[in-house]
């Protein structure tokens, strides 16, 4: 999506989001935006981070209302599935638009 056409009003830079911009949080958002929903262990493996680091970033994103989790049992063990909320998806797309605006044409 082109930055300056994402919204008919306002500066694309308005979408720059410091909560999302932290590298691991941005990668989490990118993964969840592409996958739709992903298991915690898969996110951890794809991003090559420890469970505690991922958990910390997911907590921040959940507190911002950008990510939600769903718990499901698999092979008698509880698994956590993560996905972007509609607000989270919108914020991520707005942040992408801001990054593209920074890069320029």
User: Which residues are at the interface with another protein (CB under 8 A)?
Assistant: 13-19, 21, 23, 26-27, 30-31, 33-39, 41-42, 46-47, 74, 83, 91, 94, 96, 99-100, 102-104
Nearer to another protein, 30 or 50 (CB): 30
Q: Residue 34: left (phi > 0), alpha (psi -120 to 50), or beta?
A: alpha
Task: Classify residue 75 by burial, with Cβ atoms within 10 Å: 0-12, 13-18, 19+.
Answer: exposed
Nearer to another protein, 31 or 62 (CB): 31
Quickly count: other Cβ atoms within 10 Å of residue 1's Cβ.
Answer: 10
Tell the smallest beta-carbon distance from residue 56 to another protein (Å). Answer: 18
């Amino acid at each position: 999506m082109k930055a300056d056409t994402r919204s008919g009003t306002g500066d694309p830079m308005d979408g720059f989001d410091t909560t999302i911009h932290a590298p691991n949080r941005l990668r989490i958002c990118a993964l969840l935006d592409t996958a739709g929903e992903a298991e915690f262990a898969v996110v951890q493996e794809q991003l090559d981070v420890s469970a505690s680091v991922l958990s910390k970033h997911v907590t921040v994103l959940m507190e911002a209302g950008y990510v939600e989790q769903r718990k499901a049992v698999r092979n008698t063990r509880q698994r956590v599935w993560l996905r972007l909320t509609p607000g989270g998806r919108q914020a991520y797309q707005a942040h992408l638009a801001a990054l593209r605006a920074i890069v320029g044409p």
